[in-house]
Amino acid sequence: MFLALTLLLPIPVSNRKKNKRILSEKSYGKLTARERILLLLDPDSFDEYDMFVEHRCSDFGMDSNKNKYPGDSVVTGRGRINGRLAYVFSQVWFCLLSLVTDFTVFGGSLSGAHAQKICKVMDQAAMVGAPVIGLNDSGGARIQEGVESLAGYADIFLRNVLCSGVVPQISLIMGPCAGGAVYSPALTDFTFMVKDTSYLFITGPDVVKSVTNEDVTQEQLGGAKTHTAVSGVAHRAFENDIDALLNLREFFNYLPLSNRDPAPVCECHDPSDRLVPELDTVVPVESTKAYDMLDIIHSIADEREFFEIMPSYARNIVVGFARMNGRTVGIVGNQPKVASGCLDINSSVKGARFVRFCDAFNIPLITFVDVPGFLPGTAQEYGGIIRHGAKLLFAFAEATVPKITIITRKAYGGAYDVMSSKHLRGDANYAWPTAEVAVMGAKGAVQIIFRGKEANAEAEYVDKFANPFPAAMRGFVDDIIQPSTTRMRICHDLDVLASKTQSSPWKKHANIPL
Amino acid sequence: KAGLSLSVAAYIYNQAGAASKHICVFSSKAMEEEKMHVSGGRKACVLFISRFLLFFSLQTFEKLLIANRGEIACRVIKTCKKMGIKTVAIHSDVDANAVHVKMADEAVCVGPAPTGKSYLNMDAIMEVIKKTRAQAVHPGYGFLSENKEFARRLASEGVTFIGPDTHAIQAMGDKIESKLLAKNAKVNTIPGFDGVVKDADEAVRIAREIGYPVMIKASAGGGGKGMRIAWDDEETREGFRFSSQEAASSFGDDRLLIEKFIDNPRHIEIQVLADKHGNALWLNERECSIQRRNQKVVEEAPSTFLDPETRRAMGEQAVALAKAVKYSSAGTVEFLVDSSKNFYFLEMNTRLQVEHPVTECITGLDLVQEMIRVAKGYPLRHKQADIPINGWAVECRVYAEDPYKSFGLPSIGKLSQYQEPLHVPSVRVDSGIQQGSDISIYYDPMISKLITYGSNRAEALKRMEEALDNYVIRGVAHNISLLREVIVHPRFVQGDISTKFLPEVYPDGFKGHKLTDLERRELLATAASLYVPCLVSQQVEVDGMKLNVTSEWNLASPLLSVTVDGTQRTIQRLSRNASGDTRIQFLGTVYKLQILTKVAAELSKYMPEKAAEDTSSILRSPMPGAVVAVSVKPGDTVSEGQEICVIEAMKMQNSMIAAKTGKVKAVHCKAGDTVGEGDLLVELE
């Protein structure tokens, strides 16, 4: 029996003390680089590379034997996650000598040798077509090595860019990550963080204080909360190392191994023709009342499972992975519960990046639309909502994976066009009976058309446009469907669309409005 | 004419066929007749003629309006369909998609969500009756069921009220008058004061005369609302204040009365059925002692406590009372029974009771059908000697409420998943909701009534256990854990119960099922095998002991059946996540487990502990509701246990108290606010 179970009962404090590693503050609450790999990969599946590599620096007494560690400050290799190949590097913030003593390997800092080891696994991963997972825990550049260390960073950045769109790249930030080092995670497809122990920033609080005179803590400046809720740099944060690594394993199951692989298909026990009766009542009668888009997503997904990406950032749009009849799909949905589900700068960028990832890796897209439009205001216009909103439009239009769209309620104005509409090469576009496809809400429309002179005009406009028929008559939605049949329809469409091929005119690459 | 009758008769057949599928433990005489013909497979014309005759013999009303919502509205509609009566449902705007609306032939909106503006809105309901030309109104229970004004208005419009006449409603609806009537009809009554209590001082004086403990209750009340027990002068004053407030808000009538409080009583009631020709029957008793805050939770029929003599004496007194007020229709005479089997008249409910299904199960009568027949003026079809006690029936009231907070505080939400255990034999579920329905703050939080039937009590209880395990309710808190604990508790199984059962058995509040060592091992083994679900049979080692787990689960199904060392259990996995956190409903109670591989479990001891929020200095609303009063302001010093504010939910006033002594830092609510569960009310320093 290889499982161990713990009922969540309080453990007496005395026992906890006994079990705790008495370590320096630096390693408090952290696992070692190798323990992390042990948890991430299947048992006995890790094949390590370059265990004998040492750094080549001879200045500042670095060539003495006590300053040399076999493998230097990173562990690299390949292994399997639920049987599927992955390349891994795990930076060494500290090592354990015994249960009570630890030491750091130059604070996990990046030497030329360290970078070379990472580049080797990235090259192999791109060649065989398998994802790269980085477990980042590094103090930054190895200052003793000078420009050699900077060159090492650049070598990694180049490979991050070349691998982008070829194999999925995932960064899990498990400790400090500052200065130039932050750009490697930023270039990868997904960045996850561990709460309370990981930080990402260009310059630390001391430099900030001396330059801008701002008082700020590490946590406020670049902690998990900041990056998952405010800056949008990280895609999700986890409670601790174990939680993060176990979630990473779960997340990995959704991903194809490379851009040449189709979206993975799991064995599915949830019937594909399952009716979902609660969807018939999920949209409230009053069109001003909010509901939770996550309720819809959970209820149609296989076994109600949904891996949400960026759950705390730009919450007016929901993005994440789920499975339909066993096949991975990317789901995008406006969230009426937050800011009425409108599109603004942050939500457009969040949506656009997710859509492009799915398109790059052959993951079908399912879009749930309930959008009252783009958010008006000076803050948005000055911030460049036109430019940023265009990103989402660009991403949906460019995507050639199967695209299925369900309009649950409002699809107003330009936002209707943007949200994977039929006009942007949508494959199957459906409307629920509650859908309203119009240029704007009835009140505003009537004010413009009649300047308030027509008393019954509002009712007429509602009659004409606050329903899915005008769009259905023009073929802009393929069908008006009973909400409870949504899962069934999507699964049938995905089956058919599995063999979809579509291409765009030849180009070096498109010019997305960055 | 003949052609018309033909189509109507066919309609009965179809509806009856549909109804018999839904109501599984139903067997009224009429239905048995029908089934006989259907199964007999005689020629179509013979069948038709018998149906034709049946139609005339049963003809009651063409169209009936149900002035209610939820399960009871659905319950009435089912019988109407069986009898070939067209139905009209009324609903508030938030109930537009409710089940009773979908089931009825017609449905009309009578106003916005608050009951005062919709289900209690007599003007609007009278309008609907006129518009739809309904000939009769069934009021269900609650709402307008015991409102004499409503009955009077219906009578003046020539519409039949399915219930007793206004005289009986008035006489029995007033606790003071009903007590006098009962005394005159030689029914045993509780010693007490036969008048209205004017103020708190008079309340204290009377209470001293009767002798403590005393019960203060609303004269117009029912269902435990506006009821308080007082053991001394101070409690009498406080009880007087609370009861009159609650009575005023619930019934619009703040008159109170006081009587001797019978300590440790059982609550046993007699179902009576009377017609307009002076005939009355008693349909045996229902034991309703398992209560929390004077509201019933588990009911059964018959009672384990009554012997045939006591049963007959109670039944005869109940019938005597019914006859004394010229009662017609179904009604219930409630008694308190003390440990020496002395029984005292408590009150008479002039309506269909929530718990009527248990009586239907053991007597085979359809009470709604009998009520409709009686209202039309037909005499009773049965004699007292025809009323049997067949087997045993138990009813659990499944509520959307959190049983861990004073045995049940309302919870609201959307039923994201809902599946009734109808595949368990001899189970009847009376509900008015379905998957996707909202449990809102406006109405009673009852999800359903779960009734099981067996040839004896043990069988009925065994089936109830199985039914509760197989009941899938997700999206709202529910009281399945409490119900399941009650029905397996040794005291309940022996029949040793009283109205104080819950506070006596769980003096520190209900905490869920306590796992025995064996059950704990079973749970752990099951959880472990859930981690590797592809194997049908496996051996799991828990604490050095080997257990064999056999299962064929489909993890997409909400119900998982597993056999551990030969014991079959149905469990539900409510949630899981990647970090191994799993919630499993096992023996009714939800357990939080963490399932990890051995490596992860060993390493998790090095993970930092995160500090939880200190909850003693903040007061959060335990349920959704409205703030009635706030008795502190910032800067006040409060002592532990002092009342901070009062929250009203589902018409119950709940006093929120300080968890520790301290100074009030901030008050986040004011009287009149609507608050949700978990909303911050008051912060202490």
Q: Which CATH class is domain B392-502?
A: alpha beta
Task: Provide CATH code, domain A277-435+477-497.
Answer: 3.90.226.10
Give percent of chain B with pLDDT exceeding 90: 49
Q: What is the pLDDT of residue B17?
A: 36
Residues in A touching B557 (Cβ below 8 Å)? 269
Tell me the H-state helices in B403-550: 457-469, 480-488, 490-494, 501-505, 517-531
Cβ neighbours of A6 in B, within 8 Å: 593-594, 596, 601, 604
pLDDT score recorded for residue B660: 77
* Residue of B34, B259, B347, B370 marked catalytic: B347
Output the pLDDT for position A452: 61
3-state secondary structure B527-558: HHHHHCCCCCEEEEEECCEEEEEEECCCCCCC
pLDDT given at position B29? 38
Of A6, A31, A268, the CB nearest to B594: A6
User: What share of chain B in percent tops pLDDT 70?
Assistant: 88
pLDDT at position B27 is: 35
CA dihedral A74, A80, A84, A89 (to 10 degrees): 0
> pLDDT by residue (tens digit) across A159-185?
999 999 999 999 999 998 888 889 999
Model pLDDT for residues A324-373, shown as the tens digit of each residue: 999 999 999 999 988 889 999 999 999 999 999 999 999 999 999 999 99
d(CA A165, nearest CA chain B) in Å: 26
Whole-number Å distance between alpha carbons of B260 and B257: 11
Q: Does the pLDDT value for residue B62 go beyond 90?
A: yes
The pLDDT value given to residue A151? 93
DSSP annotation string for B271-325: EEEE-TTS-EEEEEEEEEEEEETTEEEEEEES-SS--HHHHHHHHHHHHHHHHHT
Which range is least confidently modeled, A244-253, B197-206, B466-475, B652-661? B652-661
Nearest chain A Cα distance for residue B269, angstroms? 39
Partner-chain residue, chosen from B541, B542, B601, that has the shortest CB–CB distance to A6: B601
The reply to whether residue A269 touches residue B541, judged by beta carbons under 8 angstroms, is: no
Q: List the single best residue of B419, B579, B581, B582 to mutate versus A (max A Cβ within 10 A).
A: B579
In whole angstroms, what is the distance from residue A87 CA to residue A89 CA? 7
Q: Which residues does residue B548 pair with via DSSP β-bridges, in sequence order?
A: B539
pLDDT of residue B659: 76
If one compares A25 and B151, the residue with the highest pLDDT of the two is: B151
Q: Calculate what percentage of chain A has a pLDDT beyond 70.
A: 92
Distance from CA of B568 to the nearest CA of A (A): 22
The larger pLDDT score, comparing residue B177 to residue B306, is at B306
Who has greater pLDDT, B334 or B407?
Answer: B334
For CA atoms B519, B525, B526, B528, the dihedral sign is: positive
The CA distance from A493 to A472, in Å, is 18
Q: What is the largest CA-CA distance in chain A?
A: 90
CATH 3.30.420.40 for domain B63-162, yes or no, is no
Averaged pLDDT, B329-337 = 93
Q: What is the pLDDT of residue B30?
A: 40
Mutation for A interface: B93, B416, B435, B573, most A CBs within 10 A:
B435
Using CB atoms and an 8 Å cut-off, which of residues 350-369 of chain A contact chain B? none
In this prediction, residues B408-433 reach a mean pLDDT of 91
Which residue, among B92, B555, B603, would best test binding to A if mutated, counting the most A CBs under 10 Å from its CB? Answer: B603
CATH fold match for the domains B179-189+264-390 and B517-605:
no
User: How many contacts does A have with B, using Cβ atoms within 8 A?
Assistant: 126
∠ CA A326-A328-A332, rounded to 5°: 130
Return residues 258-277 of A near B (CB < 8 Å): 268-271, 277
Chain A stretch 30-89, residues whose beta carbon is closer than 8 A to a beta carbon of chain B: 30-31, 35, 38-39, 43
Is domain A20-253 in CATH 3.90.226.10, yes or no? yes
The yes-or-no verdict on residue B545 having pLDDT over 50 is: yes
Cβ contact A197:A29 at 8 Å: yes
State whether B599 and A39 contact (CB < 8 Å). yes
For residues B363-376, average pLDDT: 94
Contacts of A251 in chain B (CB under 8 A): 578
Identify the pLDDT of residue A510. 93
pLDDT interval class at B629 (50, 70, 90): confident
* Multiple choice CATH, B618-684, 2.40.50.100, 3.30.420.10, 3.90.650.10, 3.40.50.1000: 2.40.50.100
- Residues of B with CB below 8 A from A24's CB? none
pLDDT value for B428? 96
CA separation for the pair A193, A211 (Å, rounded):
27
Tokens of A308: 């949400």
- Specify the fold of B179-189+264-390: D-amino Acid Aminotransferase; Chain A, domain 1 (3.30.470)
Cβ contacts of A496 within 8 Å, gap of 6 or more: none
**What pLDDT band is residue A105 in, cutting at 50, 70 and 90?**
confident
Closest partner CB to A281 (pick from B437, B528, B540): B437
**Top-confidence residue, A253 or A286:** A253
The predicted-structure confidence for A4-30, as pLDDT tens digits, reads as follows 333 333 333 333 333 445 455 556 778
What's the pLDDT score for residue B614? 63
* Amino acid letter for position A405: T
- Local confidence band at B2 (pLDDT 50, 70, 90 cut-offs): very low
User: Residue B194: what pLDDT?
Assistant: 67
Q: Is the pLDDT of residue A102 over 90?
A: no
Let me know if B347 is a catalytic residue: yes
CATH code at B191-260: 3.30.1490.20
Domain boundaries, chain B: 63-162, 179-189+264-390, 191-260, 392-502, 517-605, 618-684
pLDDT of residue B650: 55
CB burial of A30-57 (b: ≥16 within 10 Å; e: otherwise) equals: bbbbebbbbbbbeeebbeebbeebebeb
For the question of whether the overall pTM of this predicted structure is more than 0.95, the answer is: no
For residue B182, which of B62, B336, B302, B29 has the smallest C-alpha distance?
A: B336
Catalytic residue chosen out of the listed positions A129, A180, A232, A444: A180
Second CATH level (architecture) for the domain B517-605: 2-Layer Sandwich (3.30)
Which of A8, A38, A247 lies nearest to residue B592, judging by beta carbons?
A8
Q: Where in chain A is the domain with CATH 3.90.226.10?
A: 20-253, 277-435+477-497
Chain A CB contacts of B600 below 8 Å: 39, 242, 246
Question: What mean pLDDT is reported for chain A?
Answer: 88
A250 interaction partners in chain B (CB closer than 8 Å):
578
Q: Is the pLDDT of residue B24 over 50?
A: no
Residue B130 pLDDT greater than 80, yes or no:
yes
CA B577 to chain A, closest CA, distance in angstroms equals 8
CA B395 to each of CA A38, A470, B298, B359, B427: distance values in angstroms, whole numbers, following the listed order = 53, 52, 6, 10, 10
CB atoms closer than 10 angstroms to residue A484: 19
Task: Give the pLDDT band (50/70/90) at residue A440.
Answer: confident
Residue B191 has pLDDT above 60, yes or no: yes
Contacts A277 to B, Cβ<8 Å:
434-436
Residue type, A133: I
Interface test with B, best of A14, A23, A242, A247 (most B CBs within 10 A): A242
How far apart are the two ends of chain B, measured CA to CA in Å?
Answer: 81
pLDDT range class, residue A98, cuts 50, 70, 90: low
Confidence of residue A49 (pLDDT cuts 50, 70, 90): very high
Interface membership of A381 toward B (CB under 8 Å): no
Instruction: Say if A455 is an interface residue toward chain B (CB within 8 Å).
Output: no
Kindly report the average pLDDT of chain B as a whole number.
84
Residue B192 above 90 pLDDT? no
Predicted local confidence at residue A4, as pLDDT? 37
CB A246 within 8 A of CB B579: yes
* Residue A414 known to be catalytic: yes
Range with lowest mean pLDDT among A228-242, A274-288, B25-39, B656-670: B25-39
| Residue indicated by tokens 């256990």 | B465
Q: What is the ipTM of this complex?
A: 0.84
